[in-house]
Amino acid sequence: MSRNPHRRAPAEEMLCTELDSPIGRLLLVGDGQALQGLYMQDGRRPAAASPLWRRSSDAFADVAAQLEEYFAGDRTEFAVTLRMRGSEFQRSVWRELRNVAYGQTISYGELARRIGRPSAARAVGLANGSNPVAVIVPCHRVIGANGTLTGYGGGLERKRLLLELEAGA
């Protein structure tokens, strides 16, 4: 079952494009001002592009260039305007994910502590799994408390590839 997490406001034109990457095909979704989604199309849960969305590679040229630099090992931070839809709790998790430095990892429990909800590790895991902007909001940097790779919407092999890229391996 494909998903479409973007509710289209009447006055908002949604744009999308797809690009190839070392972790497979990526779908980028936004409104021309902000990136609202970055989905791994070869993962377990590919996003469905709405027939109402207009295809536009030009609208995502800067994001695509930054992703290319990231995958080449030349970029450690992204300068992308985001508009992520979710609950306040989810958005707090996603904001904190952006504070996990390139090449670093964090446990679900530590992430829960950082947002002031130390007993919410499971809820943090669910919010992490609902992250609509993969790679740029680095949900791949969250690992199990014992250091093991755990759940990832793009699959554990992609998570491993991203962490190895960031480790310089």
Which residues have a catalytic role annotated? 139
- The two three-digit tokens of residue 16, written as one number: 């999308």
Could you say which DSSP state residue 82 is in? B
Residue 37, class by beta-carbon neighbours within 10 Å (0-12 exposed, 13-18 middle, 19+ buried)? buried
Q: Which run of H or E residues covers position 28?
A: strand 26-30
Torsion of CA 138, 143, 148, 151, to 10 degrees: -80
